[in-house]
Amino acid sequence: MKIRRLVVLALLLAWASGTSAAAPAPRPADHVIVVMLDGCRPDLLRRARTPNLRALAAAGTTYLQAQTVYPSQTRVAFVSLPTGAYPGSHGIVGGNDVMDAEWKTVGMGDDDPIAAQALVARPTVFEAATAAGLTSLYAAMKGYELVGARGATWTINGKKTLDPAAWKVRYEATAEGSADLAAGYKQLLSRQLLDQTLQIVREKRPNFVIVNLGAADYAAHSFGPESIRYLLTLEYLDGLVGDLLKALDDLGIRQRTAVIVSADHGFSDVDPTRLVAPVADVGGHRLEALAARGIEHYLTNTGGSSMGVYVRDKGRVADAVAALRAEPWCEAVYCQDAKAACDRTLESLHAYFPGRSPDLMVDLDDDAALNFPQPGQHGSLRHDDMSIPLILSGAGVAAGKVAGEARLVDVAPTVMRLLGLPSEGLRPDGRVLEDALRP
């Protein structure tokens, strides 16, 4: 009898241990809101008057050496954000299209970002949240960010929902002859997208939200990141962050909400007088240095300071590298072809996805601009392009901390932890930012 009781007790303990291991992880936050300040350079953000962002940072954790993915471009980063994966893993490698093995272009979601979600090779936080019974929202300023929104409960495509007059001149330095009106239009688009986001937040209370406020990106392209208009735009965006926080207070959910503020890329201040592959030249898909040697190629723009080059005859990749290196605007060339002796491999940059990646990625010097003569460009591996702000604050986040290195790919696994989602719901390349979380 005594032996039987011991056996029963052992079985009960084993059962209790098993159920404990299978129990859901605690949820430090009921809501996580990721505010992306598209094109925000952290060193310039620190110059601006941003009381709301400074208050968030003081109450949370700030990373001073955060970096995005390469190429440092919106289309790529806004898939890395919800997947926690580099472009070499998720497969969205830059440009609005890629050239496949049959020399045909494959769109990357400009016309239909929802259909292009099938191209994403890694799971998203949205899918993990849905599987756990949570709801989510992805609010996209440009529309194509929604390629990374697979699994989201609700989406907003700013290309379709925002003011068409403002949208038309979002990259222009003037509107109806006025720089002030152009700057105001850029701010208006972010105001409208935040308002549309808050409407869903008030009505639906989603557990996870990503919203891309694009005014700084438009201002930097149009006026340059070193301009006063860029600085004023950052200060305007700080006001929008304040409006978001007030809305969370009014809804009574602020205490159970974690807010993450970051960006998809930084910016280079460039001299746009040396224009490479101007758009009037066959849509910007032609480089004279290659055409003169009879090298058939296709060019993709990854932000203005970097480009992807597809070479049809793979035996001529090394010739293409040599030709481009002779150009005064060429800063660096990256490729996989060992014979070409490029500066680095695309694989080492986590940017090589077989069958989609360009044969060459070429970073331009800062005295040149790709396609458009704009004073602000991005896309390269330069520090100014790769550096991004990263602030975590609120529920589940450690207060008053300043940390060092982090990557954009670390955001998704950290969001998973904050929402108490099982880690197996994601296959990230990034890590959970443990030092930002409360013990």
Instruction: Print the SS3 string covering 47-95.
Output: CCCCHHHHHHHHCCEEEEEEECCCCCCHHHHHHHHHHCCCHHHHCCCCC
Q: Using an 8 Å Cβ cutoff, are 264 and 247 in contact?
A: no
Q: How far is CA 270 from CA 37, 329, 372, 373, in A?
A: 21, 12, 12, 9
Listed residue (268, 256, 218, 289) closest to 397, CA to CA: 256
Mean pLDDT of 122-144: 98
- Dig out the tokens for 34 from the structure: 């990721």
**pLDDT score, position 24:** 52
Rounded to an integer, what distance in angstroms lies between the CA atom of residue 305 and that of residue 382?
9
Peptide bond into 123 cis (omega under 30): no
- Indicate the pTM of the whole model: 0.93
Regarding beta strands 330-335 and 360-364, do their DSSP bridges make them parallel or antiparallel, or are they unpaired? Answer: antiparallel
Q: Using an 8 Å Cβ cutoff, are 260 and 35 in contact?
A: yes
Residue 262, strand partner residues: 36, 390
Name the band, by pLDDT with cuts 50, 70 and 90, for residue 331.
very high
Rounded to an integer, what distance in angstroms lies between the CA atom of residue 328 and that of residue 331?
8
* Identity of the amino acid at 307: M
Q: Tens of pLDDT along 190-228?
A: 999 999 999 999 999 999 999 999 999 999 999 999 999
Query: Cβ atoms within 10 A of the Cβ of 13, count?
Result: 10
Mean pLDDT of 133-146: 98
Listed residue (296, 306, 310, 317) closest to 276, CA to CA: 306
Q: Using an 8 Å Cβ cutoff, are 42 and 66 in contact?
A: yes
Mean pLDDT of 275-304: 85
**pLDDT score, position 299:** 94
**pLDDT score, position 421:** 97
7-11, 87-91, 247-251 — which is least confidently predicted? Answer: 7-11
Listed residue (36, 29, 390, 33) closest to 245, CA to CA: 33
**pLDDT score, position 249:** 98
In this predicted structure, the answer to whether residue 432 has a pLDDT above a threshold of 60 is yes
Q: Tens of pLDDT along 86-113?
A: 999 999 999 999 999 899 999 999 999 9
Report the interhelical angle of 215-223 vs 228-251 (nearest 10°). 180
Q: Using an 8 Å Cβ cutoff, are 201 and 247 in contact?
A: yes
Q: Using an 8 Å Cβ cutoff, are 269 and 375 in contact?
A: yes
What structural domains does the chain harbor? Answer: 31-267+381-436 (3.40.720.10), 275-374 (3.30.1360)
